[in-house]
Chain A
Amino acid sequence: MNPEIAIEMRDITKTFGNVVANNKVCLDVYRGEILALLGENGSGKTTLMNMLSGIYYPDSGQIFIDGKEVTIRSPKDAIELGIGMVHQHFKLVDNLTAAENIILGLKGKGRLNRKKVAEEVLEISRKYGFDINPNKKIYDMSVSEKQTVEIIKVLYRGANILILDEPTAVLTVQETEKLFDILRAMKKDGKAIIIITHKLNEVLALSDRVTVLRKGETVGTVLTRDATVMSLTEMMVGRAVSLNIERPEPVNPQPRLIVNKISCVNKDGVKVLDNVSFIAYSGEILGIAGISGSGQKELLESIAGLVPLSPGSSITYYPEGPDKPVELVGKRPLEIRKLGVALSFVPEDRLGMGLVGSMDLADNMMLRSYAEDRFFTNRKGPRHLAEEVVRQLHVVTPSVSTPVSRLSGGNVQKVLVGREISLAPKVLMTAYAVRGLDINTSYTIYGLLNEQKKNGVAVIYVGEDLDVLLQLCDRILVLCSGRVNGILDARTATREEIGLRMTGAKGGEHHE
């Protein structure tokens, strides 16, 4: 078979303000091939693909589709060229049905025939083995259903070049396998497929070739069959790294936080936490695994005193030493702090909850200290703390008077984690603490968490990468639709088991 070249990108450069996201990047893809685009967070993978899908416009460089030079000025141009992209953050309209989302923006005359569209959608589903209800609204769908809609949307438009950005980030092990089967079927169909990822085992399992980006530049392209985990890591990070996360043994673990039968109903009346019970011990990292939206957010927020819980819920904090236990349910965050409960919380939404993007570092430090002020604010202390965090965690910033929204994702997270650790917590909760961070920063964060653990802090770590959870944590609590579906010993548990428990395919009984 004579492979046909589908895409060629040559010397693509793209800058945002002063940041060079892509610098003379080159890439090619053949028909009937799956190319893995590998690189760390922030290495410019998504930026590069966004230029193929028309979201960004390159500063310079050339793009050839089927050997012809093209100019892609908008997503519409990309669609007309047969390019379809499934974005990491799905671009679907929540209030519309699957079918409506799929035909969005397509030409058509006269009255909209929703029935006919639904039939066409079902036809594509049958061809590739999808399972979808075209009349279901997006807001009623699970993450994997939404992803299916995105893929069908791309296929419906007749795309023969498919780009998938981190498609497995939100899927369970089992759902990932199913997706890979579908991608292989498409490859057989002669489509060119690019999959963006930073997970090496998936690269090795699925792709034909791998192109590696590092800091916005092409490192090289290799055949997957010649590659190993070690060789790819080296290409990706630029040096040999040990991928092992340190896991010290817990020293003298004591119950610090006892969560007993907590339940929570959200605004739409859905039960998001259902009878959740567990104990967090000092000197231990408790991992929380689950499909996104299984109640992780509500669990942490309820411990922080941010969401009201149903009657009968109880969260008890057991301080070190002779002090009496403190009941946290029904108290506001400031009351909890006044009772001497040293609770720190690194929320998922860093700039929308943990920090104020438009405020500078010093003012952001104040979020945790302003409450002690009387009428006028004390700005000296927070300023000093900001300088301290910058120095100790090597935050890259022009000054402590720079708005945090101007910092890169990794530095934003360092500011947030630094502030929370500075409170000398006894319980430290983190949600997706390394999402979007490069490997170096991720390891810095793991190091900080381990340091807290050694200091006797009870760390609660909500994560999405099962490998990290298995390596970093002491125990892993699996959440499934707001219920605890097993608490496992991280030293003996397997990815598969956690995956099955996340979907509820296994478990149901509690074990401790």
Chain B
Amino acid sequence: MNILNFFIASVLSACPLLFGTLGETLTERSGNLNLGVEGMMFMGGIAGLAGSYYYETLSENPVVWVSVVIAIVCSFLCAAFGALIYSVLTITFRANQNVTGLALTIFGTGFGNFFGELLSNSAGGYAAVGNATKVAFNAPISATLASSSVVGKLLFSYNFLVYIALALALFLTYFINHTRTGLNLWAVGERHAAADAAGINVTRYKYLATCIGGGITGLGGMYIVMNSASGVGGVWVHNCISGYGWLSVALVIFAMWHPSRAIFASFVFGALSVARFYFPVSFLPDAIYEVVPYIATIVVLISVSMRSRRRLQPPASLGLAYFREER
């Protein structure tokens, strides 16, 4: 039973990483290396919480599903707005992608904490979404099926966002491998000039991929804020994203820019981050056990760099700006 609970906890804690990894994969496929995932998660997190909270405070009879939808939409849009700032600076203004991404992280972290505290202050110190909404973000998708059998528990114990994340991973896999638009996006990330010469609107592809990708990472931030597995649930906690965005950036490399592999990659890291609750190791202090995912990331980075096969390479134009009239 312990193993089963461990599995479920792993999935629950992998979900925000999956959102982050998928969003960043989409972004990087267009050749944009956005190091601002951490910031966008903060933006998505606070916007989701604020949207939901204000709806519930202002509305006479708040409806749970409306509150949930508002949270999703707000977090997506706010994070996408962060990505838009990044896009304008790197795509149109050709600023350095590394520094712009770092700036977005600084800005987004400040943005999240700033409005998070403001929200708490305005509510007299503690702003939380209603209990029903909290349940909606945490309850298994089907309580009856989840309690029916081991298989049922294994398949149906998760909140609806987990299924959305999985569906998104499958959809993105199909999109990149089997559609013309996906092929075009691939070409954009591989070689801007070639895609442009083939008649692809490079700028539009980069903007869309980056903003939609950013929005998706924002959902990961909202998940962290709303889900009690990774926090209090439904209330702002200072610095709550605590590196999940950065882990996602690393997981993109681990998943080798493939959305389908992102599922596995984020599951492994979800498992690593909850392992200490299920498999305590006597000689390993908690403080050290906590950093295992980060050490694992380092191990992954090293092992990926030691192999240099062609199929495992990042999009060739990753990190580069494109100016058509370059001579």
Contact = CB atoms under 8 A, between A and B. Distances in A.
Asked whether any CB of A lies within 8 Å of a CB of B in the complex, the reply is yes
Interface in A264-294: 267-268
Contact of B201 (A53, A76, A91, A92): A76
A110 B183 CA distance: 12
Given A74-B201, A104-B187, A267 B308 contact: yes
Interface string B176-187: 001110111011
A105 B200 contact: yes
A104 B195 contact: yes
Most buried by A among B180, B190, B196, B308: B180
B177 to A, nearest CB: 8
Most buried by B among A87, A106, A267: A106
B316 A104 contact: no
Most buried by B among A55, A57, A157: A55
A75 B316 contact: no
B172 to A, nearest CB: 15
B193 interface: yes
Contacts, number: 85
A92 B191 CA distance: 8
B180 A55 contact: no
Contacts of A107: 180
Interface string B53-91: 000000000000000000000000000000000000000
Contacts of A153: 198
Interface in B231-281: none
Interface residues of A, number: 33
Contacts of B179: 110-112
A185 interface: no
Interface stretch (A95-103, A213-221, A351-359): A95-103
A75 B178 contact: no
B194 interface: yes
B144 to A, nearest CB: 37
B198 A96 contact: no
Most buried by A among B193, B197, B310, B327: B197
A376 interface: no
Given A91-B191, A104-B183, A75 B197 contact: yes
The 5 A-B pairs of least Cβ separation, nearest first, read A105-B198, A104-B198, A91-B197, A76-B199, A105-B199
28 contacts: A16-B325, A75-B198, A76-B199, A76-B201, A79-B199, A91-B193, A93-B195, A94-B190, A96-B183, A96-B190, A101-B187, A101-B194, A101-B198, A104-B194, A104-B198, A104-B199, A105-B184, A105-B187, A105-B200, A106-B199, A107-B180, A110-B179, A111-B178, A111-B179, A112-B180, A112-B182, A157-B199, A268-B310
Given A56-B324, A76-B199, 16 more contacts: A55-B324, A55-B325, A57-B325, A85-B197, A91-B194, A91-B196, A93-B186, A93-B194, A95-B310, A100-B183, A104-B198, A105-B199, A105-B200, A108-B180, A110-B179, A139-B310
